[in-house]
Structure 1
Amino acid sequence: MSPARPAHAALPWYQTVTVMIIAGCLVAIVNFGVRSTFGFFTLPISEAHGWPREIFSFAIAIQNLVWGIATPVAGMLADRYGSARVLMAGAIVYAIGVLLMSVTATPVMFNLAGGLLVGVGIAFSSFSIVMAALGRIVPPDRRSWAFGIATASGSLGQFIFAPLGAMLVSAYGWQQALTVLAGLTLLIVLFAAPLLSQNTSGRRPTADEADLTMKAAIGLAFGHRSYILLVSGFFVCGFQLAFITVHMPAYLAEHGISREFAGWAMALIGLFNVVGSYVSGIIGGRGEKHVPLAFIYLIRAVITAGFVLLPVTQVTTLIFTCSMGLLWLSTVPLTMGLVTVMFGTRYMATLYGFVFVSHQLGSFLGVWLAGRLYDQFGSYDIVWWMSVGLGVFAFLVNLPIREQRAPRFAAA
């Protein structure tokens, strides 16, 4: 065993908290950025293979579902063995899946590549694993801010990669575009390297946390009413975001909006969400979290209703994407913050992972159902109005959440 580092010894620059926060943000940029481009492949891949739109939608729906199911598993591994190795392994699987999307020619193989492999890769290299790492190295009074920074970084990834993806498809075709994106995904391995210095488990409770096993913590969490309400509301977030991410470019194309303009419109969601997520993190650190979380869902419903009722033009598209961008991932710092308030940081990745399963169940329905209903009715209108109704539902279920440590999770 190597000798312990003296308390007064200065850390190498790559082991400082600042560097690890930057590293985590870079991981989030690539992870979120690559997947935000998939909407630009809906039409070219469907047309190239002669598939109905539902086939591509179903593969991306599987991806979202697998991402959700695999997230608690990734969280358990990160809580037990540390975040860095999980992030690196996920990046490799992610890259392989994206690469295989460019060469598969049958729906079954496309579902395995773009659905199963990419879904697992995203889960293991996602910003939820990054935030679990940051939650352990950042002081409690700055934790919500750190969650906001990590979430904003994911949004910055959408701003960078959405127009990049659209341009790659236009310039080189969808197959070459996917090959380039697969290579860029491997940057996560490099960016996660500084987190190896923090590659320890969270198995030891902090001073204010009870000493519980992981199995006991999971069971108690699912018996806590506020946790169930939080899980229910996050389903809506997944439905709304996945539907817009995958089907918005095609929806805009049907209304005469060019692919390039749609790319920049989707990029603005990411740009404005940098602001929204950062502000959300600050708000979560200064007061109650469940009330602003509830109103985010309500405002989303209002904005969506306005967009559907007005004519689809470049102006209304920009107003919608910028407004929705401010609310896009602003739910995440508040949701993660509520998990830490209720249960502490020891099993944060695991318990947030189960919340995220609900999010991805919503994503699955938002992507697949939109494709199915479009093929049946030739319109996305019914899905837009479902999104409005679900936003009101999420507003109502988040209001009764109680912000306090759950029974049995506080230290005696």
Structure 2
Amino acid sequence: MSIFRFPILVWLGIGILIISLGIRQSFGIFMMPISDHFQTGREFFSFAIALQNLLFGVFQPFVGMASDRWGSKRILIIGSISYALGLYLTSIAVEPSLLYLSLGALVGLGLSATSYVIILGVVAKVVPAQHAAKAFGLTTAAGSFGMFAMIPGAQTLLSDFGWQQALQVFAMLCSLIVVFALFMRTANKNSSTAAATNAATENQTLKEALKEAFSNKSYWLIHAGFFVCGFHVMFIATHLPSYLADKHLPASSAAMALAYVGIFNIFGSYFWGVMADKYSKRHVMSALYLMRTVVIAGFVSLPVTEHTAAIFGGAIGFCWLGTVPLTSGLVRQMFGARYLSTLYGLVFFTHQVGSFLGAWAGGRIYDYYGSYEPIWWSTVVMAFIAALIHLPINDKPVPRLAMA
């Protein structure tokens, strides 16, 4: 199936992810101006972002269940309102503790209801199984394009108007999510696509789906691997700008490095999705984590310059969110599409636990040691362990689907 033949619902989901995840990935460049404004250390902002990511994950299974039951449109609208409100309240905060509610809880809920779990759950119901990983890869790449588009714009807004006005502009952008959501027609069990799904999937209850997944050892290995991904992504997105500033590089180099992460992930996410449709997803996942191991180890071993920062951004970007189509593809392949939003939502919760620790521990270790070096080398070890974790995964459909 050509990407140009994907249903319009897929393209609407892509538009939503460009906005939602583009804004999210720009938060790292707000660390220093917000920390300076409130006269706090980096751990304060790091913890606010860590709380956001933890709650992003905590809300995810419940949001996924709600989407599976009542449809994605309502969830997306509620999420966009929460997202916009959180950004606006952050921009007018007079006490730093308010950021735990605004940037932490409200934005965390908004992200949970407007990002991958909801959109991929919709895509899984309208795209044939043999093309699912490719569609997931294309959809994942949308978030990367948002990162590439938003970060330079955020840097410009910060320079010209300040961080408060930049967040207010982002809050207004969230209204576009509502517009896209209004045109999304949620697939349900009466649709022609869902009707073609085998009875073994359609007759399964949510409780039965959860019991089936939780009793599967490979499902827990998927959780462990995605935990590492979350740790990597949020540590780098949150702390790379400050790390480069500590190396006396201009702010523009950090913005450019993160922009390279975004643009190379556009190609990387689609590439890993295509590879997942052709080869064993667990083997492709192991290869991705081995690539991360080499890229991160090379970056922290070599002298940090504007050129090495840009190269690192492109290299890590190529394997940045390629885990999303692979992980969601594994869950769909093993358990079917009916409860993908729920089952992948639970896996994504584990991802966000990793994100919480990556964002918070980076600031904590820096404030304690005055250096990011220990945490950088920890990410190298974790990447190698993740590569090994995926090898013993049994990615065949569960007996219920295999028999059907």
Alignment match, 1:209: 200
| Inter-partner Cα distance in structure 2 for 1:273 and 1:103 | 33
- Out of 358, 371, 382, the position equivalent to 1:379 is 371
1:192-239 Cα offsets, whole Å, 9 max, x none, are 2221x2253699892163422101211220110111101111000000
For 1:57, give the aligned amino acid.
Answer: S
Distance (whole Å) between structure 2 residues aligned to residue 394 and residue 164 of structure 1: 34
Residue number in structure 1 paired with 2:27: 38
Correspondence list, 1:6-405, <5 A:
18-195=7-184, 197-198=185-186, 200=188, 206-207=197-198, 209-210=200-201, 211-405=203-397
Deviation for aligned residue 1:255: 1.0
Alpha-carbon displacement from aligned partner over 1:305-340 (angstroms, at most 9, x marks no partner): 111011110111111110001000011101111001
Deviation at 1:108, TM superposition (A): 2.5
User: Aligned equivalents of 1:216 and 1:285: distance in 2?
Assistant: 28
Alpha-carbon separation, structure 2, partners of 1:142 and 1:105? 49
Separation in 2, partners of 1:179, 1:171: 14
**Secondary structure in structure 1 of the residue aligned to 2:200:** coil
Q: Could you say which residue in structure 2 is the equivalent of 1:8?
A: none
Q: Shift of residue 408 of structure 1?
A: 3.8
Q: Distance in 1 between matches of 2:270 and 2:200?
A: 28
So what's the TM-score if we normalise by structure 2? 0.95
**Mapped partners of 1:369, 1:242: distance in 2:** 10
How many residues align? The count is 396
Q: In structure 1, how many angstroms separate the alpha carbons of the residues matched to 2:62 and 2:403?
A: 26
TM-score of the aligned structures, taking structure 1 as reference length: 0.93
Residues of 2 paired with 1:401 and 1:204: CA distance?
A: 30
CA distance in structure 1 between the partners assigned to 2:186 and 2:99 by the alignment: 37
Q: Which amino acid aligns with 1:278?
A: Y
What amino acid is aligned across from residue 188 of structure 2 in structure 1? T
Residues 57 and 353, structure 2, Cα contact 8 Å, conserved in 1: yes
CA deviation profile, 1:124-182 (whole Å, cap 9, x unmatched): 01122111111101112221111011000111000000111111111110111111111
Q: Percent identity?
A: 44
Give 3-state SS (helix, strand or coil) of 2:215's partner.
coil
Contact 2:285–2:390, Cα closer than 8 Å, also in 1: yes
Secondary structure of 2:97 counterpart: helix
Which letter does structure 1 place at the counterpart of 2:61?
P
Letter in structure 2 aligned against 1:245? A
Any stretches of 5+ residues in structure 1 without a counterpart?
A: 1-15
What code does the residue aligned with 2:186 have?
Answer: Q
